[in-house]
Amino acid sequence: MTADKPLRADAQRNRDALVAKAREVFDAGDFFDLRFDDFARLAGVGTGTLYRHFPTREALAEAVYHGEVAALCDRARRLQATLPAAEALATFLRGMVDHIDAHEGLARTLATLMADRSGALAEGSRALEQAVTDMVAAAVRDGAVRDDVDAGAVMMALHGIGAAHDRPRWRAEADDVITLVLDGLRRPL
């Protein structure tokens, strides 16, 4: 298998503009109110450019999803490089709650659109879980986190937080859940 040929600079700008506009529309919760061709107009590109990069609405959603996962994984790596391991993990998990809160429309739209594309979701979930696994492992090595809880439990807590977004006191409860997770991970003295 060969790697995809890199895009020309103008083609990459057009693709990036389409993904950025789709992300904005998803965040606003207006994704289903637009015709697919409207994304081209909103991004300032032609419909041919839209279809050349994203032949379907689902392909555009997948690109947005992969961009989100990549940004979150990059954030995890930056935190690991700049903070002590336990602090990096805590900052990342609290940041995930901020992210879920700020991008509720995006999460709901992607979940609805990609329900039948579980392979794309699973790939992103694995990448994010690997980032969390790396952070937990670093905190275990530093002696700050117990070694009998794996990152899967942390991911389950994050998924639960996201799924409960409709609760009336969601934000406060989400912060409390992160505190419980962090307290539960802390190595006993």
Q: What is the pLDDT of residues 35-62, one digit of tens each?
A: 999 999 999 999 999 999 999 888 888 8
Query: CA-CA distance, 133 to 150, in Å (whole number)?
Result: 7
Q: How far is CA 88 from CA 85, 93, 142, 160, in A?
A: 5, 9, 12, 21
By percentage, how much of the chain surpasses pLDDT 70?
89
Nearest to 105 by CA among 40, 136, 150, 61: 61
Query: CA-CA distance, 92 to 98, in Å (whole number)?
Result: 10
Which residue(s) pair with 186 in the sheet? 145
Q: What's residue 112's pLDDT?
A: 66
Residue 155, pLDDT > 50, answer yes
Q: What is the pLDDT of residues 69-108, one digit of tens each?
A: 899 999 999 999 999 999 999 999 999 999 988 887 776 6
Query: Tokens 């991008």, residue?
Result: 103
Q: How far is CA 70 from CA 52, 54, 74, 90, 178, in A?
A: 23, 19, 6, 19, 22
Q: DSSP letter for 145, please.
A: B
Tokens at residue 113, please?
Answer: 């659109």
Chain CA centroid to CA 182, Å: 20
